[in-house]
Amino acid sequence: MKDFPQDVRVVYRHFPLPGHDKSLLATQAAEAAGLQGKFWEMHDAIFAGQGTWTGMTLDQFETWLKDQAKTLALDEAKFTTDLKSDASVQKATQATENGKKLGIPGTPLILINSEVYQGPRDYENMASIVSLYKLQERQFKSCPPMTIDQKKQYTATLKTDVGDIVIQLFADKTPMAVNTFIFLANQGWYNNNLWYRVIPGSFAQSGDPSGSGNGGPGYAYSNEIAADSNFDKPGVVGMFNSGPNLNGSRFFIIYTPAPELNGKYTVFGQVIAGMDVLAKLTPRDASDPNAPSPLPAGSKIISVTITEK
């Protein structure tokens, strides 16, 4: 949350489960601390201390909660009164009733933008969701106009933080992919894009401003498979897709021939300079079970410049 101060809001709702002997008192303690402006501090303390208090009796737990209030520099007398006030008890029991009424089967139940979420709750996934939501604001509401001249020669210079990569684009064979790549480059879409997946000796992938590897430009277009363009040599540039008609902005460059990709991905360019730069990109692969966590910051595309002749 601290990484997205403007973009993320966290809402906490109590659901003290009926079968848990100390859940009501814990709820009351958080509410009592809340009356002194320290709800979140008590919330954090209670969760952090779970291992300590789970086995306690209710009386022991009450003492433990009062100790926490002391640690948080709360007015202890007021906390003690509020802990078991009618209002606190009422609030906690009502929360249980509300949860039961909604049919919530267990806790925690997480909603993201008001919809139930049950995916993984680790940082990488949560950050990825936030970055994808942010990307939606930048997505295009229409397909790019066809502006390229298929008879012309287009090259793209990818300025990266480790050097330049120059790509010859195949406007004649794959006009849709090249047109969209040029459109996006000119719109600055690729500026500051992370090389989010780099597997040395295999391929390097970029083109998603969210850096999650799941973002797209807001439109999708079909494959353009040309019989004489294949993934047959280092430096072939392919448009990534999530299916034959689901190409977007993500693209990849292969380090070695990859015939298994033939026919599945559009070959829309070839690296004509900077293969040595490609080799310098920071390896990064979230799908590798042995990948470090968090993943390395990674290399970036600073900008993409198009030339035509």
Partner 1 sequence: MKKRWLMVGLLLGAALAACGGLAAVTPVVPLPGTSTAVAVNTQNVAKTSLPTAEPATCTVSSLQPTRTPDPYFPAPDPKTDWIQGPEGAKVTFLEYSDFQ
Q: Which of residues 122-141 bind partner 1 (CB under 8 A)?
A: 124-126, 128-130, 132-137, 139-141
Q: Is 198 in the site for partner 1 (CB under 8 A)?
A: no
Q: 82-111: which residues touch partner 1 (CB under 8 A)?
A: 99, 102-111
Q: Is 172 in the site for partner 1 (CB under 8 A)?
A: yes
Contact stretch for partner 1 (CB under 8 A) within 16-24, 69-77, 186-194, 298-306: 16-24
Residue type, 296: P
Nearest CA-CA partner of 208 in 239, 236, 245: 239
Sign of CA dihedral 260, 240, 204, 170: positive
Contact stretch for partner 1 (CB under 8 A) within 144-152, 155-163, 185-193, 253-261: 144-152
Q: Is 214 in the site for partner 1 (CB under 8 A)?
A: yes
Q: How far is the CB of 175 from partner 1 (least distance, A)?
A: 5
Report CA-CA distances (Å) from 48 to 7, 40, 61, 68, 223: 26, 12, 14, 11, 51
CA 133 to chain CA mean position, Å: 9
Q: Is 40 in the site for partner 1 (CB under 8 A)?
A: yes
287 or 290: whose CB is closer to partner 1? 287
Contact 304, 295 (CB under 8 A): no
Contact 258, 227 (CB under 8 A): no
Interface residue with partner 1, options 68, 160, 180, 193 (CB under 8 A) = 180
Structure tokens at 286: 């979230």
Q: Which helix (H) or strand (E) holds 239?
A: strand 236-241
Contact 42, 14 (CB under 8 A): no
Q: How far is the CB of 182 from partner 1 (least distance, A)?
A: 14
Interface residue with partner 1, options 23, 68, 193, 299 (CB under 8 A) = 23
Q: Is 293 in the site for partner 1 (CB under 8 A)?
A: no
Q: Is 77 in the site for partner 1 (CB under 8 A)?
A: no
